[in-house]
């Protein structure tokens, strides 16, 4: 870890305010947003064909570094920085970004931007909810094999699906392979070529990242109280990647130490990635699943309303990442928001006709319309 850079990023801004100035509407923020912007390469451009704009992640990281060191201790900039570091440096970048974020939350809480409104902490919380979603997506795209292949968790998931497809429809499997999809065997070969030292180092980095996530959530509990945001999507993404890494270590003859503090609970993961898929495997579900810890063969057991809402958001995030043009992601996200609303607030959000709304309130014996 670059300790000098870390010290520079966490040094107070010179002047009368350790957090510097509010840069939310500055040209610097606009420049970061523009550097992050990227076009969807899959969208039709009609007759006017132009090269789609790609995000400039190294530039994003540099701009955020400069702002955090010299202008402002800004929570949004720290979240952008962490996201950019994952895109450019993989899991080691995530560790550095989370280290910066954890220190800012601990040492600069009173001076961070956006300014804290104790009666309405939503503005700060929204930045962390954004990071949870974006960092989880970036983690699933980070390389899990060596530089020559750079296969990610998403690549591995697609390889398992392709192997299942081969059992059901060999012709479709061949067509997918022609389009560039890789098989489980190809992923396994890349994992073997990456070597034991590669995966032991990666496992250590992922464990460190998971510990930092836990520390950040502890800090958020203290700072926000009962309304504290959490990072469930990022935790799950790290858990999924660690599952693949741990099996690579086992196949290569190594022994993985279990970190009780960050081990996943009730997480269903494929038990094998280096062996052929059983002939009776279903098309959608990877074979021979096993629960790492928790109640055997039960998968994820929901024990509270809050957990159910968290999993709704995970489902919404999946569809936003995998099927960005599908309405499923936004609809599930809306359902998650509705689940957190009291009934009278939900009715106001859904029923637009004032007379109908008032009739429903009377029928359900709810308080009268606050505007009445």
pLDDT number for residue 85: 98
pLDDT at 153: 94
CA–CA separation, 121 and 19 (whole Å): 18
Contacts for 260 with CB less than 8 Å, ≥ 6 apart = none
For residue 44, give both structure tokens.
């039709």
Confidence of residue 256 (pLDDT cuts 50, 70, 90): low
**Which pLDDT belongs to residue 32?**
96
Q: Is the pLDDT at 273 greater than 80, yes or no?
A: no
Query: Quick one: pLDDT at residue 265?
Result: 39
Q: Tell me: pLDDT of 245 over 90.
A: yes
pLDDT tens by residue, 91-133: 999 999 999 999 999 999 999 999 988 777 888 999 999 999 9
Mean of the per-residue pLDDT values of the chain: 80
Query: Which range among 22-31, 69-78, 170-179, 289-298 shows the weakest confidence by mean pLDDT?
Result: 289-298
- 21-to-60, 69, 166, 329 alpha-carbon distances in Å: 20, 12, 58, 36
The DSSP code for 226 is G
Sequence-distant (≥ 6) Cβ neighbours of residue 17 within 8 angstroms: 111
What digits encode the pLDDT tens for the residues 185-239?
Answer: 889 999 999 999 999 999 999 999 999 999 999 999 999 888 889 999 999 999 9
Q: Which of 162, 143, 161 is nearest to 152 (CA)?
A: 143
pLDDT for 282 beyond 80: no
Task: Give the mean model confidence (pLDDT) for residues 320-335.
Answer: 80
Average pLDDT score over residue span 298-308: 52
Q: Is the pLDDT of residue 66 over 70?
A: yes
* pLDDT (0 to 100) of residue 41: 59
pLDDT, tens digit (0-9, with 9 covering 90-100), for 122-131:
889 999 999 9
Which residues, in sequence order, are CB contacts of 287 under 8 Å at separation 6+?
A: 164, 270, 272, 277, 278, 281
Three-class HEC string of 293-337: CCCCCCCCCCCCHHHHHHHHHHHHHHHHHHCCCCCHHHHHHHHHH
Compare 120 and 293 and report the one with higher pLDDT: 120
């Amino acid at each position: 870890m670059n300790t000098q850079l870390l010290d520079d990023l966490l040094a107070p801004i010179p002047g009368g305010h350790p957090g510097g100035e509010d840069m939310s509407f500055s040209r610097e923020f606009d420049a970061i947003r523009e550097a992050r912007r990227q076009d969807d390469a899959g969208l039709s451009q009609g007759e006017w064909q132009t090269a789609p704009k790609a995000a400039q992640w190294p530039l994003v990281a540099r701009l955020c570094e400069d702002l955090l060191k010299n202008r402002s201790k800004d929570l949004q900039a720290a979240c952008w920085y962490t996201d950019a570091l994952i895109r450019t440096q993989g899991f080691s970048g995530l560790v550095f970004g989370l280290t910066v974020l954890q220190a800012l939350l601990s040492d600069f809480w009173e001076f961070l931007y956006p300014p804290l409104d104790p009666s309405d902490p939503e503005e700060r919380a929204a930045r962390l909810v954004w990071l949870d979603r974006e960092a989880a997506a970036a983690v699933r795209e980070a390389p899990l094999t060596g530089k020559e292949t750079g296969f990610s968790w998403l690549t591995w998931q697609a390889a398992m699906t392709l192997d299942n497809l081969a059992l059901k429809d060999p012709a479709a499997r061949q067509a997918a392979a022609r389009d560039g999809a890789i098989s489980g065997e190809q992923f396994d070969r890349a994992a073997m070529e990456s070597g034991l030292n590669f995966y032991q180092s990666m496992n250590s980095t992922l464990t460190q990242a998971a510990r930092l996530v836990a520390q950040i959530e502890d800090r958020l509990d203290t700072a926000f109280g009962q309304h504290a945001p959490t990072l469930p999507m990022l935790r799950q993404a790290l858990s999924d990647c660690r599952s693949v890494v741990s099996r690579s270590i086992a196949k290569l003859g190594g022994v993985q130490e279990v970190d009780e503090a960050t081990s996943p609970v009730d997480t269903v993961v494929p038990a094998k990635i280096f062996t052929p898929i059983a002939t009776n495997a279903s098309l959608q579900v990877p074979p021979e699943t096993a629960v790492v810890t928790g109640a055997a063969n039960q998968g994820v057991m929901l024990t509270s309303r809050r957990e159910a809402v968290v999993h709704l958001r995970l489902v919404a995030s999946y569809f936003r990442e995998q099927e960005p043009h599908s309405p499923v992601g936004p609809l599930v996200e809306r359902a998650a928001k509705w689940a957190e609303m009291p009934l009278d607030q939900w009715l106001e959000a859904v029923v637009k006709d004032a007379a109908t709304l008032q009739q429903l309130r009377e029928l359900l014996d709810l308080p009268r319309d606050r505007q009445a």
